[in-house]
Amino acid sequence: MATVTFDKATRIYPGSEKPAVDGLQIDVGDGEFLVLVGPSGCGKSTSLRMLAGLEDVNAGAIRIGERDVTHLPPKDRDIAMVFQNYALYPHMTVADNMGFALKIAGVNKAEIRKRVEEAAKILDLTEYLARKPKALSGGQRQRVAMGRAIVREPQVFLMDEPLSNLDAKLRVQTRTQIASLQRRLGVTTVYVTHDQVEAMTMGDRVAVLKDGLLQQVDTPRSMYDRPANLFVAGFIGSPAMNLVEVPIVDGGAKFGNSIVSVDRDAIKAAADKGDTTVTVGVRPEHFDIVNGEAKSLTKDEPAGLAVTVNVVEELGADGYVYGSAQVGGEHKDLVIRVGGREIPEKGAVLHVVPRGGETHVFSTSTGERLSD
């Protein structure tokens, strides 16, 4: 077991002036499951490949435990990697695939067989050890790839989008298996995905990247409750957080036909930047549908923001309303969670206000978080 440290690690590809990964600074604890997540081209796979030794590090350093591995070849780093496409040898049995790296390393046959059988038992692959990969399903092949990594007993597991080739149901099942397996083995794991749901459900901590820059690294709960900036706020959460630019007024921010109270320090921070508006973030579950008693700014219009219902997704216990509203003269799409017994008709108009204490306030000009 070991810690992993990215110490201002930078990668610039030949022919490019812009770094693919720019000064990445992350400390991964011993036995921690860290997920790197972000949109395509954000630098997450490059970061993993730098750790694996498959990409050069142009500046900064990478350490595994106390060892500086920045310029060590992959074979000397004591890591095992699980790829997106399984990378199994088609002519070998499952047992031979799992034990191949040990065979190359000169481990004796009895030890190889012992480790392979132990890994197969953990992964429910015992009955498939004599089969070839073509006789397995996608989920079984991915478990074989996991087994190949486990038998090596490395200090660090590296996983590069290992579930992206699986269908939706199998993906959910396999991500649970990987997370519980990692907890049981206690091996430090760095996992790359573009799927934020995967990141939130699997990682002890999540690191969000954008354009090669680290945006935030935190626990899934903290990242959901306190996103550091507009990008993280819009990326983490499914459905995504609603982000609405609204004018600053005395006492808070004007949200449709209501005033939403905003932390005074946030208003002051926005004013100090010269902003006349703030961007208010509201999760779909944090909207309240107002009734006639809610306080309105004008007598002839209901309180809150008028949202026209376009589409409703009924999920049984609850539902999601996808609607549109006019905010500051602009058309804005919003998502609102409603109770499963309170589904509105398509074309209906709802008046909504953010629930008190559940809003996120960001600078419109810089995107940084202003609220506590």
Q: Is the pLDDT of residue 267 over 90?
A: no
pLDDT digits (tens, 9 = 90+) for 92-112: 999 999 999 899 988 999 999
Query: 247: cis peptide before it, omega within 30°?
Result: no
Q: Name the pTM for this structure.
A: 0.89
The whole-chain average pLDDT of the chain stands at: 90
Task: Return the SS3 of 91.
Answer: coil
Q: Which of 35-39, 141-145, 346-350 has the highest mean pLDDT?
A: 35-39
CA–CA separation, 274 and 187 (whole Å)? 49
Is the pLDDT at 170 greater than 80, yes or no? yes
| Domain co-membership, 213 together with 129 | yes
* Domain CATH number, residue 45: 3.40.50.300
Whether 129 shows a pLDDT value over 70: the answer reads yes
Dist CA 94 CA 116 (whole Å)? 9
Residue of 246, 282, 285 whose CA lies nearest to 267: 246
Q: Are residues 29 and 178 in the same domain?
A: yes
The reply to whether 371 falls in a domain is no
Q: What percent of the chain has pLDDT over 90?
A: 61
Residues 204 and 277 in one domain: no
pLDDT of 34:
97
pLDDT at 85: 84
Do residue 43 and residue 81 come from a single domain?
yes
Helix/strand/coil for 11: strand
Instruction: Look at residue 370 and tell me whether its pLDDT is greater than 70.
Output: yes
The CA-based diameter of the chain, rounded to the nearest angstrom, is 85
Residue 279 in domain: yes
At 298, the pLDDT band (50, 70, 90 cuts) reads low
Same domain, 33 and 175: yes
What confidence score (pLDDT) does residue 297 get?
54
Q: CA 258 to CA 297: how far, in whole Å?
A: 6
What is the pLDDT at residue 105? 87
User: CA–CA separation, 256 vs 301, rounded Å?
Assistant: 10
For residue 355, what are the domain limits? 241-363
Q: Is the pLDDT of residue 5 over 90?
A: yes
Number of structural domains (the chain) is 2
